[in-house]
Structure 1
């Protein structure tokens, strides 16, 4: 029996063949990164737990490999409180003393900049202190989020402890996306099909000719949201598109990877991309999805069959829109949004926030006039960070807000007030909705 990509990656790192369900006591990792939420407490815990050990050995407390550890302030920057500012300064000083790369405020979102900079390559085992570390699976890696304790010990030892090799679920994508339909619509469709727990503790492996037709920006969007159906992570194989992306970019050796033809999967699904349409997720769960052609029926169902995480929606109007986050704020997302926005204005009763995912994306969008399109249309364009997706600044929602967002989560209270209604959609759908003041099918803007 052949191996899945996950089995292959783990086998290489532990130095022997492994099987699904096997418990690995010490899993070697290859990359580890921290954001400004978990980074500061992880450093403090690291010094408290390991500092004395190093001191007794006559050495300064050091991480397992400075070249494989990264700190990225992105969730609450520019810093807006003394506490957050002190945490970022701690990350900077800790990194400087140990030769670790610490990015600057405004350099961008962790799940974007490391990929841009060629730090993530196939066969990596990547840990990050954020659940959307699964984004990196688009590069043929085993990547997932961990908490403070696991991250602290990984920083010291280079290992994750008591890891169980997960099963994989195969999603075979066929066909080609229609005009005005994007990878965000694919993953929302799949999450709606599977349900919030439909891929629990398993790896979502996206494959087939449909995947091979997608760009890297599109692929990262899909892997980013695998966790929203409770997957351990998402993953995609190495191909010519990834090879071209990594060429002249990769900071580490690059080797092809794919699952064996006779690998074993827990389940297999086929999705015809040509049959999809723009898709919207209703509050308060990413799995509450509907094709946009059935929007009014979904609104009616929310009123007649409400639950704790499928709450009543009065109508299709919105008050706020957000084009940003680690899910959908890369260059191609801004291109799609600008194509819809060009020649139009933001609705007078809508607040639109646009935040490019990284400084590099920001600069390119500025050089090509994309940001000018948004600004002249009446949008607020901000420096690269997580923004309102995290719900702490740059667009905190009131109780009467109805937000349509390109981000990955619409949980209750995610962007501010627990009474806010948050809808998830593609950049094109978000911008079309910002123009019209109501959730809108973007396909007419591509005719």
Structure 2
């Protein structure tokens, strides 16, 4: 086998690999000899089939295997000896493939872009500021008030009061289509919050203004896409009898409210809220710290970038932004989205930082554990209630999905590794200043 360099410009590499016909024939013969003891063929005892007959029967298939294994072996040996790591899968092409025949030498070309050498970085001179926010009484009280709203109850309005949007009415109803009652169209003592959108469009609006004791006929038309085919698009009349009208009442902030949310008492609930708020603040502060670190690294480190990675990233950025600007288009059946200089500049930053973090993680032997992956999968699976098991099995069989879940975990662990080596000072601020810092990140 002969390997000849044909291209070496920047990160671009090209090689021509020549495999002698005799070498391929030897590999085929070795495969035949290995298989011969187990081969059974009519007219011959097991393991006694002549090599010539085996070669006639299986030679072409084994020749294909030998060619592939030889090229794979040559590529692996090349990368091991050269130390190159391809940015993307190398492009391998057989020379004169249409004219090639058994007995000829085989020539293939291999081209790729090598990953660049990443310079060592001394992080001891990197200075970062970690924002720290404590959950004050005002923030805890605000969260408690929000919980009280979600735990609201309803109290009877005075006699003769008209129902308002947001009130709860308790009523009996009987629905009819063409004068005939239909299944599922009746209930007694049904509690309905007006304006909640619980019923079909146009229903709740007609009950605004009713009073306890009223009887009202509500005329509606079922949507054309309604789930029950026998009702879709049909006009209906609901005969309603109003039992009571209730106004929303915010729950009291007391021990009873705390128990509704699983806490022993109000003091315990305040403690839980404080911990949750500070965890949220810490998460937001980490995003600010991470962005500042990445900005610093982007300015601190410079090296050549594989053009193919930059182009692919710029295309992805342009495509994503196009869909954000055209949310009505849900598929990818549209014309090519042209990249701009801004897309390319952002792509260069992402590729540079991605390669740098990957190299830092490799040198530091950062790994994503099975437990961390399992937790990430479970967190994603919660978005599909009732289908958690199917989602888990899907991820287990999908390498690309696994990589999508593993990548952010790996990146965060590398960031932690770098932060540990940098000079970090804590700065205590209030939540409003933290919010401003986060908004500034989104505007950049």
TM-score (norm: length of structure 1): 0.20
Q: Which has the larger radius of gyration?
A: 2
Report which of the two has the higher share of helix. Answer: 2
TM-score by length of 2: 0.20
